Structure 1
Amino acid sequence: MLWPVSSPARPFDTIFGQVRPLDWLCLAPHPDDAEIGAGGTLIRLAQAGRAVGILELSRGERGTQGTPEVRVAECARAADIMGLAWRGQLGLPDGELRDTLEAAHALAATLRAVRPRVLVVPHHHDRHPDHFGTYHLSKRAVHLAQLKKADLTGEPHRVSRVLLYQGNADIRPTLLVDVEAVQDTWAAAVLAHESQFAGAAISETVTPEIVERRRARLTYWGTLARARYAEAFETEDPLLVDPLAL
């Protein structure tokens, strides 16, 4: 269900669930990016009872296939499959995602509204301008969201941890997550974006073979993690690990 939000205090639309404090929030430049790059991890967290959300920065309106109306319905359907607590759209222009003050204020205000503890963003090595643009935009927004004197509505909020997920380029992960147990749910969530993955192949990403192609990556990372399938992330700050858990 689409819940339009027109208040300047909330520069986003809620398309699934309710606005609430989140344990994890994944930023997606376009609909389906979060499912493809981090979907298994998000599903595992949701199944464990964590409050998990996705925020699309654009509606993917310049994509070759689908319309914004069709894609928002697909996003809601995928959110239900994944068990998300919330999914929203910021409505920034597709193809123009970059670090501007206006966009950073909108994203920072959203971070204050949903208050994620962990933020997951695209890797800056990605070849797609909207993906590395989202990374740089998120850096400024995370900074602004915590400033008491920033010209923003809402109470200041500090994100505790930022993770980078794999999109269209290879990465050198510092964190691998076993996602074998949620493969069927992950595939269903990805394929809920039917307008992108049920028609003609447009690119290496927009293709009916998306699950097969992405699962090859999961298999590779799983080999390194001694698991069947794993998702890869990179941390920019060191992780504190209990040696007894190793």
Structure 2
Amino acid sequence: MLSSMTQPPPHPFQTVHGTPQPLDWLCLAPHPDDAEIGAGGTLIRLAQAGRAVGILELSRGERGTQGTPEVRVAECAQAAAIMGLCWRGNLGLNDGELTDTQSSAHALAAALRAVRPRVLLVPHHKDRHPDHFGTYHLARRAVHLAQLRKADLDGEPWRIARTLLYQGNADIQPDLLVDVESVQHEWEAAVRAHDSQFSGEAISETVTPEIIERRRARQSYWGTLARVRYAEAFEAQDPLLLDPLAL
């Protein structure tokens, strides 16, 4: 047995579903249910195609009007199973205080080194919610730290290949649209798994029993632009390289 001096350090997160492992795609969510609402269809499509897909919540949503942290963790596990995720975790930062601080950036960077995603999804910086645009800025620093060999972090350095921004409550100008018509049933079930948020009275435009209707209307709008029925929208952090022969 390893002594306390030689045991590997604990992961900087709680695992909610699955096993920490190298991921093809990882979605960062400020609170439980944000990933499903903003990018759930895309994540389900990727999982169905055999990609290793995960979600990392930065907080437990403990300051939300409805639900408790324990209930919301259970809802996250249920939704992860519906979506076919390989892994889902929670970083345990304070709800309502997600900002680009040194301690939070180090914790997130260590988590990125642990699960080594190739593509990272983060909330758009134009979102009205402070935790959402705070997550964007926090993620930018953590992505940078995770790749630095001399950073004071556990784990081997890791470089994210691509960062995409997903839509929250604000309008965006997307660079990429993903057809999600084929996974509407699974997407709706995953969102409805967060019953504490979407079955009671309407608290906001997001925490409402009308969440499916409202988000599907947005998917329908993006789908119209892409000439499909439903689509999710993303903005690239950096320019996308496109082979013109693929057009």
Q: TM-score of the superposition, structure 1-length normalised?
A: 0.96
Q: Could you list the per-position Cα deviations for residues 103-129 of structure 1 after superposition, in whole angstroms to 9, with x for gaps in the alignment?
A: 000000000000000000000000000
Q: Could you list the per-position Cα deviations for residues 195-224 of structure 1 after superposition, in whole angstroms to 9, with x for gaps in the alignment?
A: 000111111100011000000000000010
Per the alignment, residue 34 of structure 1 pairs with: 35
Per the alignment, residue 226 of structure 1 pairs with: 227
With 233-242 and 41-50 compared, the bigger mean Cα shift is at 233-242
Letter in 1 for 2:88: R
Cα offset for 1:68?
A: 0.2
Per the alignment, residue 47 of structure 1 pairs with: 48
Letter in 2 for 1:197: F
The CA distance in 2 between the partners of 1:40 and 1:198, in whole Å, is: 21
Letter in 2 for 1:32: D
Letter in 2 for 1:211: I
The CA distance in 1 between the partners of 2:199 and 2:151, in whole Å, is: 44
Tell me the number of residue pairs that the alignment of Structure 1 and Structure 2 aligns: 240
* Structure 1: 4+ residue segments shifted above 4 A: none
Per the alignment, residue 20 of structure 1 pairs with: 21
The CA distance in 2 between the partners of 1:240 and 1:147, in whole Å, is: 25
Per the alignment, residue 61 of structure 2 pairs with: 60
Cα offset for 1:9?
A: 4.0
1:179 aligns with 2:198: no
RMSD: 0.8
Structure 2 stretches lacking a partner, 5+ long: 1-7
Distance 1:214 1:228, change over 3 A: same
Percentage identity across aligned positions? 81
Q: Is the 8 A contact 1:9 1:109 kept in 2?
A: no
Q: Is the 8 A contact 1:9 1:153 kept in 2?
A: no
The CA distance in 2 between the partners of 1:89 and 1:213, in whole Å, is: 27
User: Secondary structure of the equivalent of 1:91?
Assistant: strand
The CA distance in 2 between the partners of 1:89 and 1:44, in whole Å, is: 22
User: Secondary structure of the equivalent of 1:94?
Assistant: coil
Letter in 1 for 2:68: T
Per the alignment, residue 140 of structure 1 pairs with: 141
Per the alignment, residue 84 of structure 2 pairs with: 83
The CA distance in 1 between the partners of 2:225 and 2:23, in whole Å, is: 30
Letter in 1 for 2:215: R
